[in-house]
Amino acid sequence: MKTKAMRLYGKNDLRVEEFELPPLKDDEILAKIISDSVCMSSHKAALQGADHKRVPKDIDRNPVIIGHEFCGELVEVGKKWAGKFKAGQKFVMQPALNLPENPYMSPGYSFQYIGGDATYVVIPGCVMEQNCLLSYDGDAFFFGSLAEPVSCIVGGFHVNYHTQNGVYEHKMGIVEGGKMALLAGVGPMGLGAIDYALHCSRKPSLLVVTDIDDARLARAKSLYSEEDAAKCGVKLVYLNTGAIEDPVAAMRELSGGTGFDDVYVYAPVAPVVEQADKILGHDGCLNFFAGPTNPEFRAQFNFYNVHYLYTHVAGNSGGNTDDMREALSMMEKGLLNPSVMITHFGGLNAAPETTIHLPEIKGGKKLIYTHINYPLTAIADLTELGKTDKLSKKLADIVAKNNGLWCAEAEKVLLAEAPAI
């Protein structure tokens, strides 16, 4: 069977090509990809090529399919899995396989025949053996794509840890009823973290969210108001640290002078990391969530406080399968709405330029619908585009009814009316 896919051949060498998939084995599954959400990690893979930890060294001869935040339908199920999966079933995938022989191998980075930016893929047996292929029952495919980044956010809350006096055991997770700060926290992942912090089972009592852009802070506030947060039992404070002479003093004052229990860094910027260090309280955990592209990235950290205040660092580059199950469950129950993360959409033709230039494209998450040919388009531009384009007008009217957010109805119209790839 033929597929069209975006493949990585080397540093910033991404190509959309049509090629033949190999015959299906008994322990494999043929699947149709509908949507993929472009991750900054995919940009890093494109930027670093074979130097990336998850990318094979021989991609110049055996290119890999890029994209790991995908959702679709199963087409044909090999004999081994016929009792567990069936054709027509919607699915999502946890790309962090954690294979014993190579913990870095992951769909969307490491495999020739599976990745999110493709029309059809072959799911290898190791994915099912690791219980990383999950059934998805939602209406919108893009919600399934967003289950992966949301699972990373969930994992970030679970990976933090705290100590206990006199006991050599760590308590995993954030401090319930504690003080939390999200620095550079109104990008797409930061917005998802606000949503999760307000609606998860273990909430902070104080949540301070910072950025240096008033417009981004205003959008976050319009989506998650202080009043709505209070109804969830959380005091939410937005702070523009770029407009304050001493942001560290201001944040420590907001904490009541104690500092914060859990601090998340959502931008790989050394001054932000150092700011996070300075606002940690006793036994405070700094989570470096944002992955840098520079392998030599460094920031200063106060080791006096490590010794006397038990401050410490955690990091996570993804969630696990349980995190994804939690994300899917909360989304299906309506507790989380990851639509707020989406600002752009496009077709498979737009995937290479979007992936390579991702940091330069302002906004949140970018959705790629792999079976259509459509330019990368900002949701905010649909009204203007709709003056001369009928499909844009139709999509603009739909999202306007949905508080300006992408939704299942918009997805269905786009897939039905956009030209095929």
Q: What pLDDT digit, counting tens, does each position of 147-157 carry?
A: 999 999 999 99
What is the C-alpha to C-alpha distance for residues 290 and 300, in angstroms, rounded to an integer?
A: 16
In the block, which residue shows the tokens 């404070």?
237
> Which residue ranges make up each domain of the chain?
2-137, 151-315, 346-417
Tell me the average pLDDT across 361-374: 96
Question: CA of 280: how far to CAs of 172, 189, 283, in Å?
Answer: 17, 21, 8
What is the C-alpha to C-alpha distance for residues 335 and 235, in angstroms, rounded to an integer?
A: 18
pLDDT of residue 309: 96
Beta strands in 97-252 (DSSP E): 120-123, 133-135, 161-164, 167-172, 179-183, 206-211, 235-240
From 129, 109, 135, 134, select the one nearest 49 (Cα to Cα). Answer: 109
pLDDT of residue 415: 98
Inform me whether the pLDDT recorded for 360 exceeds 90: yes
pLDDT of residue 421: 94
Tell me the average pLDDT across 249-270: 97
pLDDT in tens, 62-121: 999 999 999 999 999 999 999 999 999 999 999 999 999 999 999 999 999 999 999 999
Split at pLDDT 50, 70, 90, the class of 163 is: very high
Provide the token pair at 374: 């459509």
CATH class of 2-137: alpha beta
Inform me whether the pLDDT recorded for 386 exceeds 90: yes
From 147, 66, 52, select the one nearest 113 (Cα to Cα). Answer: 66
Tell me the average pLDDT across 282-309: 95
Q: Are 160 and 285 in contact (CB under 8 A)?
A: yes
What is the enclosing helix (H) or strand (E) of 285? Answer: strand 280-288
pLDDT of residue 318: 82
Let me know if 257 is exposed, middle or buried by CB neighbors in 10 A (0-12, 13-18, 19+): exposed
Inform me whether the pLDDT recorded for 293 exceeds 90: no
What is the C-alpha to C-alpha distance for residues 344 and 366, in angstroms, rounded to an integer?
A: 5
Tell me the average pLDDT across 302-316: 96
* % of the chain surpassing 70 pLDDT: 100
Inform me whether the pLDDT recorded for 317 exceeds 80: no
pLDDT in tens, 181-215: 999 999 999 999 999 999 999 999 999 999 999 99
pLDDT of residue 295: 87
| φ, ψ for residue 272, nearest 5 deg | -70, -40
| Residue 193, helix vs strand vs coil | helix
pLDDT of residue 127: 98
Q: Which pTM was predicted? A: 0.91
Give the chain's mean pLDDT: 96
Intrachain domains 2-137 and 151-315 with the same fold: no
- Tell me the CA end-to-end span of the chain in Å, nearest whole number: 16
pLDDT of residue 203: 97
What is the enclosing helix (H) or strand (E) of 7? Answer: strand 2-10
What is the C-alpha to C-alpha distance for residues 215 and 13, in angstroms, rounded to an integer?
A: 34
pLDDT of residue 359: 93
Inform me whether the pLDDT recorded for 35 exceeds 80: yes
What is the CATH architecture of 151-315? 3-Layer(aba) Sandwich (3.40)
